[in-house]
Amino acid sequence: MTSWLILTATLPTSPSGLRVKVWRALRATGAGALREGVYVLPEHAPSASALSALERTIVDAGAVAHLLVVQARDDAQEQAFRSLFDRAELYAEFLQTAKEARTRLRSATEATLRKTLRGLQTQLHAIQAIDFFPGRASDKAVDAMVALRREIELHLAPDEPSATAAAIARCEVADFQGRTWATRQRPWVDRLATAWLIQRFIDKSPTFIWLADARKCPKSALGYDFDGATFTHVGERVTFEVVAETFGLLGDPALQRLAALVHCIDIGGMPVEEAPGLEMLIRGLQARHADDHALLAAALSVFDACYAALETPSDP
């Protein structure tokens, strides 16, 4: 049986400031209302601590509040409590928005499509944050998001690689010096970040070539981020993550955070605070540099700065 938090609150009718503050805080937690002044939240909810803090806020303001931990008396009451957290309608709205986005896919600009993806990802995560009992509706929404992202990426870049199920073998940096590394031309964030990773942590004197047709990759080159390449997407990992894991680099916390950032921008998933800013910078570099060598040269300093920021504690 679920352990439930029950918050009871008796608030003054005036002034209204405390009531508004409490209402907004309750809405943010995703709590359900049993009746006016009585709110319920599963104890395992990520926002449970906020309910405890809200009790203190109410009491400190001179009003009355009590936070209880209870269990339902029987299965019927358990289901009645759980029904307060049915997010099926929110997921249905998300699926409808995704469906409408698909109908506009062929006519929309790249900027519009990427903005659409960001908006849908934010919408989905907002629902998931208050979905304390995820089920089929959640799975269906996640599948729809993955499918739409893949469809948009294939529309924008028909040669975008498909993920493989291969195991990631460990390689030694010493065996990969002075190599030629090949990827698709007009590199986006995963390819640029991977080139930065190669140049800064793996190969001290790399040569990069940009392929108009990935099928014509020279046999002597190490291909990355295309179907059939030496390094490409594996399972849920993007190429940056695969290369970092291959060379045992993910013990570096800053590289772990950068990997999550690249993953978020490239294929979505858990939101990362810095993602919109880095994505905007890469778009600007692409707009300024028609030559891919110049694009990489400019991107190196961006990733250097990003890595340095991720190495630095956020607290002063």
What pLDDT, in 10s, does the model give residues 187-233? 999 999 999 999 999 999 999 999 999 999 999 999 999 999 999 99
Q: Where are the alpha helices (DSSP H) in the chain?
A: 17-29, 48-60, 75-83, 88-103, 110-129, 136-156, 189-197, 239-246, 253-267, 275-288, 292-311
The confidence score (pLDDT) of residue 314 equals: 59
Query: At 173, which amino acid appears?
Result: V
Our CA dihedral for 108, 188, 243, 309, rounded to 10 degrees, sits at: -110
Q: In which region does residue 59 sit, left (phi positive, over 0), alpha (psi from -120 to 50) or beta (all else)?
A: alpha
Least confident stretch, 28-37, 70-79, 142-151, 174-183: 142-151
The gap from C-alpha 123 to its chain's centroid, in whole angstroms, comes to 12
34's enclosing H/E stretch is: strand 32-35
Our CA dihedral for 149, 289, 261, 156, rounded to 10 degrees, sits at: 10
pTM of the model: 0.68
198 vs 192: CA distance, rounded Å: 10
Q: Where are the alpha helices (DSSP H) in 104-165?
A: 110-129, 136-156
CA-closest candidate to residue 161, choices 198, 108, 211, 99: 211
The gap from C-alpha 258 to its chain's centroid, in whole angstroms, comes to 12
The confidence score (pLDDT) of residue 316 equals: 45
With vertex at residue 252, the alpha carbon angle to CA 202 and CA 277, rounded to the nearest 5 degrees, is 90
Is it the case that residue 313 has pLDDT exceeding 80? no
Say if CB 8 and CB 26 are below 8 A apart. no
pLDDT tens digits, residue range 100-146?
999 998 889 888 998 898 899 889 989 999 999 999 999 999 999 98
CA-closest candidate to residue 50, choices 71, 22, 69: 22
